[in-house]
Structure 1
Amino acid sequence: MPHDAGSDELAAAVAATTGSGRRSSERSSERSSDRTRAAGPVHATPAAGGTPLEVLRRVWGYDEFRGDQARIIDTVVSGGDALVLMPTGGGKSLCYQVPALVREGTGVVVSPLIALMQDQVDALSALGVRAGFLNSTQQPWQRREVEDAYLAGELDLLYLAPERLAVPDTVDLLGRGTVALFAIDEAHCVSQWGHDFRPDYLRLSMLHERWPDVPRIALTATATAVTHREIAQRLQLEDAEHFVASFDRPNIQYRIVPKDNPRSQLLDLLRSEHAGDSGIVYCLSRASVEQTAEHLVGQGIDAMPYHAGLDRAVRAHNQARFLREDGVVMVATIAFGMGIDKPDVRFVAHLDLPKSVEGYYQETGRAGRDGLPSTAWMAYGLADVVQQRRLIDTSEGDAAHRRRLTQHLDAMLALCETVTCRRVQLLNYFGQSGEPCGNCDTCLAPPTTWDGTVAAQKLLSTVVRMAQRGQRYGVGHVVDVLRGKTTARVTQLRHDELSTFGIGADLSDAEWRGVVRQLVAAELLGVDSEGYGTLELVEASGEVLRGERTVAMRKEPERARRRSSGSGSSGASGSKAAADLDGEALEVFERLRTWRAGAAKEQGVPAYVVFHDATLRDIVLRRPSSLDELGTVGGVGVTKLERYGDGVLAALAG
């Protein structure tokens, strides 16, 4: 039976629904950069040579490529340029790692992920690939060692941060050796339209000017049509072959819930669906990160904070624990995550609204890299809309910059408020089409729409009447007036005398807050920009009040608490790979995990750099009795067979 090459970069993935034992690749993870061991190159028997398929089989242990991988690799091997848009989990790294081993010379990888470079070198080393990196974390002697290896032709892959190419000595070094190809990873960083612009990327067009005959491959996991065009233009890749894979991640279940005490909602999610799972929780502010982590720890969850304001050593320690240990929850700002390769992240939760769909997609894509069911969950409310609009209004950019930010936010709000399939909405944003997935919240519990025009007019009329008295108030007080509540404040302000007092008794507090949220999201109602949270009319409010514009609103259905089909911990190990194993098979799986933990600890690497859970599962199901049989299992290449084969067979034998 044929096997197919892997999920994103080096991560081994197996589709939970197939159980077919199909091969997927393994990747490394981002860990602490303050290592005591040398960050020099790996001196090993060259893994290079042969056809792309021969290299794939020998080094990674897979029998065939997946999707566009073969076409992309053939393009680069033959000397052509390529621009690759492929989702997380699609196998991007193989698209330049394989050609680097086939072509003469060293593949030079430009990446902004300095903290990840050591991990990439570790993972490649485990595969028998000779790799090194040059960045600011190294000592001078370590850089010299890498440079000497490059000049001697002893490196298959060399990782560089983009700012290194601004150093003349680096350009001179590359010129004195043989470059097989240039790979520009995280290529969306070149786009000022995108969500993670890096000025250093603007200089990368010099690669084509300095080395016109060396093929270039630029890769990203997120790009709209606008960002795609800008990447091509800025990197001079208009004439390159462009490959755009589907952005669908069918193993991720997208869910967005109305915000109501979000930390309690998060805790309920973790306890009811993801007990013992690894996951990431994103918050907008550093204070919220620390408070949320403290709250989770107080409730018995193994959680840690991560943000740029923490001491570097603390960040490194927390990151290392998250990557190396099972069941750890990282609470972080978006300072954490780009390039995170941990394959068994079972959930990504947002307690605050992301600034763009690109950012949301990138962050949620860190869940389920192994292809197994995972959850992307977000709590969203009026305060998020108000906060993001205020940030845009007070941003330092020019009018064009603020318009771009507003367009990003409007697209994010459209995703939150949609009554159709969220997956289809995501795909449409990236210029792709799809059918309702049946595995997001709007598919599983379809919301209904209702004509909210009259409700909107009632609310706007109340705001008008308060404004006529020279007064502005927040949501809570306006809703109290609409519902006819004789609170002390309502009575004191004599708002029980307003003609709109009590005309909204037909809707609950929560329903009225939903009306306000949707009116603000649709820019039919404003919130003051001074931070007081008071409601105010905008130009478009008049269209609604005059009956010139109807307002359709989203009504959230009542949802019973349930476990989703893609959530929760299964089996004694809590591993999705072991979900359908029982009895002796589960016992063998646990023995293999115990052996793997020891091997990983001895080498100082995460367990999945040795073997991923999916590979262990395949071993359990196939029960190889010899090294030759073990070598046919997905993810067991020549080097790993030599290094770990005897240990695996011994663990199988008990």
Structure 2
Amino acid sequence: MALPDTAQTPADVLKRVFGYDSFRGNQVEIIEHVVGGGDALVLMPTGGGKSLCYQIPALVRDGVAVVVSPLIALMQDQVDAVRALGVRAWFLNSTQHLDEQRAVEAAFLDDQLDLLYLAPERLRSETTLRLLQRGKIALFAIDEAHCVSQWGHDFRPDYLELSRLHERWPSVPRIALTATATEATRGEIATRLNLEEARHFVASFDRPNIQYRIVPKDEPRRQLLDLLRTEHAGDAGIVYCLSRKSVEQTAEFLTAQGIPALPYHAGLDADTRAENQARFLREDGVIMVATIAFGMGIDKPDVRFVAHLDLPKSVEGYYQETGRAGRDGLPSTAWLAYGLADVVQQRKMIDDSAGDLAHRRRLSQHLDAMLALCETVGCRRVQLLNYFGQWGEPCGNCDTCLAPPESWDGTVAAQKVLSTVFRLDRERRQKFGAGQIIDILLGRRTAKVERFDHHELTVFGVGTELVEGEWRGVFRQLMAQGLLAVEGNYQTFVLTEASREVLRGERKVMMRRDPRKQPKARAARSGQAPKVELSAEAAPVFERLRAWRGATAKEQGVPAYVIFHDATLREIASRMPTSLAELSTISGVGENKLAKYGEGVLETLGSGE
């Protein structure tokens, strides 16, 4: 899309190209700053409209915007999405034939592009740098900028080279964008990308349409199945697992239950990964079961849930992954099943990790923050926002708000566990896992208890006031608070320095008691993005529009959301426009989409009469 009239304002482009009447949050401030030639570091949550912050300046400024994107596998979909708006976009990467690369290079040099997508490793090539030197560059956009940070969770060494952009093109504005960064990560991004003098824009990290829920693990696949059948039947979603084996088994389990689920992990061949990713993006109601290798850069707006069957390693990772739900602003669920084995496994992985003491300490800090989020008795959303240095009111929509857990004095219970570990170690020179210690506390004369004469210990049977599940919760929280540690390949328990304060009665141990019943109802709250409720008349119209969109997307070989988002179709179904002029007033219907799809939409609306 050529935009020769440089007098156009960002607001003009927003309406004409993207079909929106107004900017959100600090978008307009960011865009005007970059249009004016300023550098920017932008932190904005997934679904907050980060891409507009460089796409609109690209269309207002002279030249081509060079977009650094870390995922070659998604460049085609990124390009399809902006081309559907009439924007002239293309990419250069290793998947293209030489003739195709030359055609893109020629279009770049002839000023026939608005956006050019490149992977960060391509900018290490002197050939690419010389090509860019010959063209006119409007700006550099560095997407997923947290990849430059070794403190962050998606470190990519190729991003370290991007500081060279400022050295070679000192007058070209740069905008670095990410959805996830603490103050420490933000500082590292600025330093490593030579953006210390850039203006920082930090939007609210709050995603009011996402309901955060963390449940105690109890047959997690069955718990997941219950979630899908009762709340998300037919919805698209992502299920994260820690291991490749768990990914495969969970995908097979869901498929056997009649739920369309596909695996995705680094152990699959490239063709299978690409095929599964394409199906997830282009078909309705598909669930992707994946390791964290999947998801960054995914722009599918109608992901209704993100579920974790294993504990994430950090709050940044958790926030980034859950943020892939509800990009369209409609109500969505972030669900995590969490148990004692998760804590034991993560602690063991840190102890066994490569790297120096500082690296392991950093990993431990990340895990401690994640455990604090899981064990909080307060609002999950407030805890998340506080982690990123922001403040918020209790949301009334997370599990701890809907069914507040109790806080109880677990000092005596903690002393019983720690005393048992101490006596096994000191009196018997033995170390055991949670199961054996709980059997001792409950006074169970199992074969293993009797074989080791553990029924003769003074702590045998002193813990009958709690049931086994509650004792596992005690163990989990003692580990979360650093009062127990795991040791060796058998993952047995040992005391820590802090344990001794509890045993001596010098430290009180408060614990969280999980609610008996987990909440499912969605409570509205101030600021929550409203769902467009469809009337009885509008609901079948919406389904007809979805069917038309699906057929059109299949015919064009693009994801359905590239045509129109669900939110746009819902508004069309509710307002029932009867002319192109009326259709043009719908949010998300820009000039190009109106010209390309308008008649098809009106025909579909009329087909039910």
TM-score range, shorter chain: over 0.9
User: Amino acid of the residue matched to residue 89 of structure 1?
Assistant: G
Partner of 2:462 in structure 1? 503
Q: Is the 8 A contact 2:182 2:388 kept in 1?
A: yes
SS of 1:553's equivalent in the other structure is strand
Distance 1:449 1:561, change over 3 A: closer
* Structure 1 equivalent of residue 422 of structure 2: 464
CA–CA separation in structure 1 for the residues paired with 2:505 and 2:28: 58
Partner SS for 1:583: coil
Are residues 1:627 and 2:580 paired?
yes
Q: In the alignment, which residue of structure 1 is the partner of 2:376?
A: 418
Tell me how far apart the structure 2 counterparts of residues 89 and 580 of structure 1 sit (CA, whole Å).
Answer: 20
List alignment gaps of at least 5 residues for structure 1: 1-42, 567-575
Q: What is the identity, as a one-letter code, of the residue corresponding to 2:85?
A: L
The aligned residue for residue 565 of structure 2 is 612
Deviation at 1:628, TM superposition (A): 1.4
Within the candidate set 311, 318, 329, 2:276 is matched to 318
SS in 2 for 1:218: strand
Q: Per-residue displacement from partner, 1:312-371 (whole Å, max 9, x unpaired)?
A: 111111111111111111110001100111111111010111111000000000001110
**1: CA distance, partners of 2:531 / 2:188:** 44
What letter is aligned with 1:226? A
Q: How far apart, CA to CA, are the structure 2 residues paired with 1:301 and 1:114?
A: 29
Which residue identity does 2:451 align to in structure 1? Q
Amino acid at match of 2:440: V
Structure 1 pair 210–121 and aligned structure 2 pair: CA distance change class (3 A) = same
Give the whole-Å Cα distance in 1 for the aligned partners of 2:519 and 2:180.
33
In 2: Cα distance, 1:565 partner to 1:449 partner: 23
Question: Does the CA-based 8 Å contact 2:348-2:491 persist in structure 1?
Answer: no
- Contact 1:109/1:158, CA 8 A, preserved across alignment: yes
Shift of 1:492: 2.6
The counterpart of 1:584, out of the listed 537, 543, 553, is 537
Q: Secondary structure at the match of 2:42?
A: strand
1:580: how far off? 2.6
1:18 match: none
Deviations 1:379-426 (A, max 9, x none): 111111111111111111111111111111111111111111110000
Aligned amino acid, residue 134 of structure 2: R
For residue 493 of structure 1, report the CA deviation from its aligned partner.
2.0
1:542 aligns with 2:507: no
Distance 1:158 1:49, change over 3 A: farther
Equivalent pair of 1:595/1:651 in contact (CA under 8 Å): yes
- Map 1:9-408 to 2 at 5 A: 50-408=8-366
Given that 1:247 and 1:427 are in contact with CA atoms closer than 8 Å, whether structure 2 keeps it comes out as yes
| C-alpha distance in structure 2 between counterparts of 1:106 and 1:84, whole Å | 20
Distance 1:390 1:480 in 2: 23
The answer as to whether partners of 1:48 and 1:55 remain within 8 angstroms in 2 is no
Deviation at 1:533, TM superposition (A): 2.4
Residues 71 and 202 (structure 1), Cα distance of their counterparts in 2 relative to 1, 3 Å cut? same
Equivalent position of 1:527 in the other structure: 486
1:519-577 alpha-carbon deviations (Å, 9 max, x no partner): 1111111221x2212222222211111111111111112116744458xxxxxxxxx99
Letter in 2 for 1:512: W
In the TM superposition, what is the alpha-carbon distance from 1:578 to its structure 2 partner?
Answer: 8.7
Residue in 1 that maps onto 2:606? 653
> Quick one: structure 1 residues 140 and 430, their matched pair in 2 at CA, closer, same or farther if it must change by over 3 Å?
same
Corresponding residue for residue 447 of structure 2? 488
Task: Give 2:554's aligned residue.
Answer: 601
Q: Is the CA contact 1:578–1:589 (under 8 Å) kept in the aligned structure 2?
A: no
Equivalent residues of 2:54, 2:175 under 8 A apart? yes
Distance 2:300 2:164 in 1: 33
The one-letter amino acid of 1:351's match is L
Name 2:401's counterpart in structure 1.
Answer: 443
Q: Which deviates more, 220-229 or 256-265?
A: 256-265
Partner residue, 1:31: none
How big is each residue's C-alpha offset from its partner over 1:194-249, in whole Å with a ceiling of 9 and x where there is no partner? 11111111111111111111111111000000011111111121211111000000
- Tell whether the 8 Å contact from 1:47 to 1:59 is kept in structure 2 after alignment: no
Normalising by structure 1, report the TM-score: 0.90
- Partner Cα distance (1:211, 1:439) in 2: 47
SS at match of 2:334: strand
| 2:434 is the alignment partner of 1:475 | yes
Aligned partners of 1:408, 1:350: CA distance in 2, in Å? Answer: 17
- Counterparts of 2:605 and 2:336 in 1: how far apart (Å)? 42
Note closer, same or farther for the CA distance 1:228–1:577 as it changes in structure 2 (3 Å cut). closer
Answer with 627-636 or 576-585: which moved more.
576-585
Q: Is the 8 A contact 1:47 1:130 kept in 2?
A: no
Percent identity at matched positions? 72
1:578–1:586 CA contact under 8 A, matched in 2: no
- Write the distance in 2 (CA, Å) between the matches of 1:583 and 1:47: 46
| Alpha-carbon separation, structure 1, partners of 2:449 and 2:460 | 10
Give the Å deviation of 1:618: 1.2
- The verdict on how the C-alpha distance between 1:268 and 1:48 changes in structure 2, with shifts beyond 3 A counting, is farther
Question: Once superposed, which parts of structure 1, at least 4 consecutive aligned residues long, lie more than 6 Å away?
Answer: 43-49, 576-579
CA distance in 2, matches of 1:48, 1:91: 23
State the shift of 1:633 in Å.
1.1
**Distance in 1 (alpha carbons) for counterparts of 2:271 and 2:548:** 30
Q: 2:509 aligns with which of 510, 527, 551?
A: 551
Residue correspondence of structure 1 range 426-441 to structure 2 within 5 A: 426-441=384-399
Residue 582 of structure 1 and its aligned partner are, at CA, apart by 3.5
Provide the rounded CA distance (Å) in 2 between the counterparts of 1:398 and 1:592: 56
Give SS of 2:537's match. helix
2:331–2:531 Cα contact (<8 Å) kept: no
Give the distance between the partners of 2:6 and 2:480, measured in 1 at CA. 55
Confirm or deny: 8 A CA contact 1:187 1:219 kept in the other structure: yes
**2:591 corresponds to which residue?**
638
Aligned-residue CA RMSD in angstroms? 1.6
Counterpart of 1:38 in structure 2 is: none
SS at match of 2:204: coil
What is the identity, as a one-letter code, of the residue corresponding to 1:508?
V
Aligned mates of 1:241, 1:561 — CA distance in 2 = 42
1:44-76 Cα deviation digits (max 9, x unpaired) = 887987211111111111112111111111101
